[in-house]
Amino acid sequence: MKTIEDLQKIREEMQSKISLRKDDGDSIRVVVGMATCGIAAGARPVLEALVDEVGRRQLKNVIVTQTGCIGVCRLEPIVEVFEKDKEKVTYVKMDPEMARTLVSEHLVNGRVVQAWTIGASE
């Protein structure tokens, strides 16, 4: 049973942690397409998997956000990764399992999964 007390405990834990998620220039931004095409193609579970994995691993430098139609609807679900001083990486036809691998391979280990990018699918 989730209660308001549980939420208060979460707040206290987060307030006592030394650093919270920072939205500055050094953050890695992970953007999930969430327009009609994305939602119909299954973007919501992809987003949920990303948020869950980033949370589990406590990756404070990663920000997960949503966007509208990217323009390549047939390749949805699409996940874009923006990192300072690096080229944008666009992952296409994602699913929740791939999303979790994306977090460990790309966000943690810094290795782009080339096979899943838009360049590989054309």
Partner 1 sequence: MKELSLNVLDLAQNSLSAGARHITIEICESEEKDNLHIRIVDDGAGMDPDFLKRVTDPFVTTRTTRPVGMGIPLIKMAAEMADGQFSIQSRKGEGTELNASFRLSHVDRMPIGDIAGTVTTLIQGAPEVDFVYIRRTDSGSFEFDTGQIRGLMEGISLREPEVLSWIREYIAQGEAGVMAQEV
Query: In terms of CB distance, is 47 or 98 closer to partner 1?
Result: 47
Among 27, 28, 29, 52, binds partner 1 (CB under 8 A): 52
Q: What is the DSSP letter of 17?
A: S
66 near partner 1, rule: CB under 8 A: yes
Only one of the segments 3-11, 81-89, 102-110, 114-122 lies at the binding site for partner 1 (rule: CB under 8 A); that segment is 3-11
Residue 56 amino acid letter: R
Q: Establish whether the linkage from the previous residue to 96 is cis, with ω within 30° of 0.
A: no
Q: Are 89 and 116 in contact (CB under 8 A)?
A: no
Among 22, 40, 88, 104, binds partner 1 (CB under 8 A): 40
Q: How many other β-carbons are positioned within 10 Å of the β-carbon of residue 113?
A: 14
Only one of the segments 47-55, 81-89, 99-107, 111-119 lies at the binding site for partner 1 (rule: CB under 8 A); that segment is 47-55
Number of residues written out for the chain: 122
